[in-house]
Structure 1
Amino acid sequence: MKIASCETHIVANPPPHVGGMYWIFVKLRTDDGLEGVGEIYAATFHPKVMVHAIEDVFERLLQGENPHHVERFFRRAYSSGFTQRPDLTMMGIVSGMEMACWDIIGKAAGKPVYELIGGRVHDKLRTYSYLYPVDRKGGYDYNNLDLAVECALEYMEQGFTALKFDPAGPYTDYSGHQLSLEDMDRSEAFCRRIREAVGNKCDLLFGTHGQMTPSGAIRLARRLEQYDPLWFEEPIPPGNSEAMARVADHTTIPVATGERLTTKYEFHNLLQAGGASILQMNLGRVGGILEAKKIASLAEVHYAQIAPHLYNGPVGAAASVQLATATPNFLVQESIRQWDGFHAEVLEEKLEWRDGYIIPSTKPGLGVTLNMDVVKAHSPYHDKKLHLSMSDTPHDFKSQSDTSWRDTPEAK
């Protein structure tokens, strides 16, 4: 069995773009007709550039190769250009192609991938979702505290036992910074009101995306500890493991991080420094399923758990499900609501979500099939925006602090 061809599909995610502006799917086909699909999460360059990079990696490193040889493929790609170090874009491409290889391997064996990487440990996977508070116009208003509370109660009734929200202020290229007192007041109010609403039926997951300095993160954490969040997510930028460890050492809230890291080497540094007790690898960035399994094993040695990150399409989610199902130290899987909307439309059959849990598929490979009519109808992506972006101006306390959350009677 040899890999014969590769297709790349840049699928535009319709408004309101939940899960990013677009999804990068790759489809590999073998000389005997088996197909495998994967998803690339790396978003450093525009998709027009990524398409050519994907073609280059395929032609140099994967075309004509046996799809079972994922270790060989990883090492050749990791060392490409005399690097032998984590390269974000290369590892993103490897991740998607490696997923597609595993999809083929599973189909050839007639087994789900999780049965080939250690076997099923979990019969169902606990999930969480960001809160998506809908306003009267049908859009999302993330700063409206009353709507956030209503959304939290709605998700709890659906079966979610963990809820994530991120009220700490805007993301900027110039983070980390000290939060304004207004930002900290808002963050504390969100935790207080949502905790009062859900009681002990749901864990609170406090999300940030590296907005703060270590000292600023510690200031905020002290305010939030009384509401007992399950985690404090990526409180500072991801480049300095020792700095992340300083935050972890000064709060009782477990630190979760890792969505922007890649390969076992970066996660090893984080664990060695004591920077996190919950790892949030994204399988479309870290190097694929096998690399993520190695990271999970490193975490196990440190008595840390994994909570795979997912803010992209459903193929990356299906790969995360395979990993989580076979991982003893799995904590919780990020979902995007119940995998409805466009996440369901782009598949022949949606991911199974039931009463707060993902039910792992028993189908061979990753267990998902792209609906190519939908894929083609939303390809290619023409916008100039990347998958996710930050503000390109520094944080301005006066002009960027949003006080609309104070307009509700309960918040005054």
Structure 2
Amino acid sequence: TVMGAFSGLEIACWDILGKARDRPVWALLGGMMNPRIRAYTYIYPLPHHDKAAFWTSPDMAAESALAAVDQGFTAVKLDPAGPYTLRGGHQPGMRDIDLTDRMLGAVRAAIGNRADILLGTHGQFTPAGAIRLGAAMERHQPLWFEEPVPPDDIPAMAEVARAVRIPVATGERLTTKAEFGAVLRAGAASILQPALGRAGGIWEGKKIAAMAEVFGAQMAPHLYAGPVEWSANIHLAASIPNLLMIECIGNGGDFHLPLIGHMLRVQDGFVTPPDTPGLGIAFDEALARENSYNGDMLHLQMQEAPCDYTHGNSFEGGAPRD
């Protein structure tokens, strides 16, 4: 998208400026407010898990969540309600509500009060459907209910936020402070998740954070555009007062870490902002070119079929497919 291209250029300019001034980007944004940044991760199959069965297995989800918490993470995310469909919002099937309840229940039983549970849905439901699902999940005390309805339908999201006793989170598909401002004014979410590689870059993220603070909302920058966006998230997170946490892919990602010279990392569930100039990474362009993507599929495949009310559904957590 145009905003995606602009965001990438804007982030690159901060890296150039920081290196020219011999200062980390967070210092150029006003200084350090958060020297230790809380991180969360999706739960992914462990090496011994059956990957095909993982996404609908409460036991495997609980085992994976416990492994993440044992590494120090204080929040884990899962998307058990599925499906990720082209057809817009739908009512969840009772099988999907039951599976989500069992998945969250198993995770909560495994991790206790050591970590928060983050419930993702990728905008799959109608307002009424999201309210049904959210009400059924309240007993597990999720920290947030992410994109319960399509994110461009702000009045519908506000309806869910008023009805469900779980904080609503949104923002990974929004761009610019104007769209986030509309969310805040409507009371549609109290946790904002800008993807800096799409929303307008680091400075736009700083403006969004300032607006959120006025409304008592917190920031949880979203990650799925790779380690350069991750580094931008870290610098923004270091510089704002209303940070909740940032998204990470496990402890950084087996491919992503060498791509940036192993210069950022998650340790005990937290990230320490770098002191090195610019974004604090050494991007390996040769490694990136050697592993350029030449496939014909999107990272997240949206199914064409409608919700299956007979056999149930699943969403494969955003993980790459083998």
TM over 0.5: yes
Question: Counterparts of 1:364 and 1:148 in 2: how far apart (Å)?
Answer: 39
CA contact (8 A) 1:127 1:332 kept: yes
CA contact (8 A) 1:343 1:350 kept: no
Give the letter for the 1:285 counterpart.
R
Post-superposition offset of 1:340: 3.1
Superposed, which structure 2 residues align to 1:122-201 within 5 Å? 122-134=34-46, 136=48, 139=51, 141-201=54-114
Deviations 1:267-297 (A, max 9, x none): 0111000000000000000010001110111
Question: Which residue of 2 is the match for residue 367 of structure 1?
Answer: 280
Give the letter for the 1:198 counterpart.
I
Deviations 1:120-170 (A, max 9, x none): 100110000000023646746222211111111111110001010110011
Question: Which residue of 2 is the match for residue 102 of structure 1?
Answer: 14
Superposed, which structure 2 residues align to 1:267-346 within 5 Å? 267-346=180-259
Report SS of the residue matched to 1:390. Answer: coil
Question: Counterparts of 2:100 and 2:10 in 1: how far apart (Å)?
Answer: 39
Report SS of the residue matched to 1:126. Answer: strand
Question: Which residue of 2 is the match for residue 226 of structure 1?
Answer: 139
CA contact (8 A) 1:124 1:358 kept: yes
Give the letter for the 1:367 counterpart.
G
Post-superposition offset of 1:388: 2.9
Post-superposition offset of 1:371: 1.6
Deviations 1:12-62 (A, max 9, x none): xxxxxxxxxxxxxxxxxxxxxxxxxxxxxxxxxxxxxxxxxxxxxxxxxxx
| Residue among 216, 226, 240 paired with 2:153 | 240
Give the letter for the 1:110 counterpart.
D
CA contact (8 A) 1:352 1:360 kept: no
Superposed, which structure 2 residues align to 1:385-400 within 5 Å? 385-399=297-311
Give the letter for the 1:299 counterpart.
A
Post-superposition offset of 1:175: 2.0
CA contact (8 A) 1:135 1:147 kept: no
Post-superposition offset of 1:400: 5.0
Give the letter for the 2:31 counterpart.
G
CA contact (8 A) 1:232 1:255 kept: yes
What is the total number of aligned residue pairs between the two structures? Answer: 313
Gaps of 5+ in 2: 315-322
Question: Counterparts of 1:345 and 1:170 in 2: how far apart (Å)?
Answer: 33
Question: Counterparts of 1:93 and 1:372 in 2: how far apart (Å)?
Answer: 18
Give the letter for the 2:77 counterpart.
K
Report SS of the residue matched to 1:285. Answer: helix
Question: Counterparts of 1:214 and 1:151 in 2: how far apart (Å)?
Answer: 31
With over 3 angstroms needed to count, the CA separation of the structure-2 counterparts of 1:365 and 1:258, relative to structure 1, is same
Larger-Rg structure? 1
Question: Which residue of 2 is the match for residue 38 of structure 1?
Answer: none
Post-superposition offset of 1:207: 0.8
Q: Scaled by the length of structure 1, what TM-score is found?
A: 0.74
Question: Counterparts of 1:368 and 1:331 in 2: how far apart (Å)?
Answer: 24
Question: Counterparts of 2:49 and 2:98 in 1: how far apart (Å)?
Answer: 27
CA contact (8 A) 1:99 1:319 kept: yes
Give the letter for the 1:196 counterpart.
A
1:202 paired to 2:115? yes
Q: Scaled by the length of structure 2, what TM-score is found?
A: 0.94
CA contact (8 A) 2:81 2:313 kept: no
Post-superposition offset of 1:387: 3.8
Post-superposition offset of 1:191: 1.3
Question: Counterparts of 1:400 and 1:383 in 2: how far apart (Å)?
Answer: 29
Question: Counterparts of 1:136 and 1:124 in 2: how far apart (Å)?
Answer: 32
Stretch moving more, 363-372 or 273-282: 363-372
Post-superposition offset of 1:230: 0.4
Post-superposition offset of 1:242: 1.1
Gaps of 5+ in 1: 1-88, 403-412
Question: Counterparts of 2:312 and 2:141 in 1: how far apart (Å)?
Answer: 28
Question: Counterparts of 1:329 and 1:95 in 2: how far apart (Å)?
Answer: 22
Question: Which residue of 1 is the match for residue 319 of structure 2?
Answer: none
Question: Counterparts of 1:340 and 1:187 in 2: how far apart (Å)?
Answer: 27
| Superposition RMSD in Å | 1.4
Post-superposition offset of 1:195: 0.9
Detail structure 1 runs of 4+ shifted over 4 Å in the superposition.
none
Question: Counterparts of 1:306 and 1:287 in 2: how far apart (Å)?
Answer: 15
Give the letter for the 2:18 counterpart.
G
Question: Counterparts of 2:143 and 2:219 in 1: how far apart (Å)?
Answer: 13
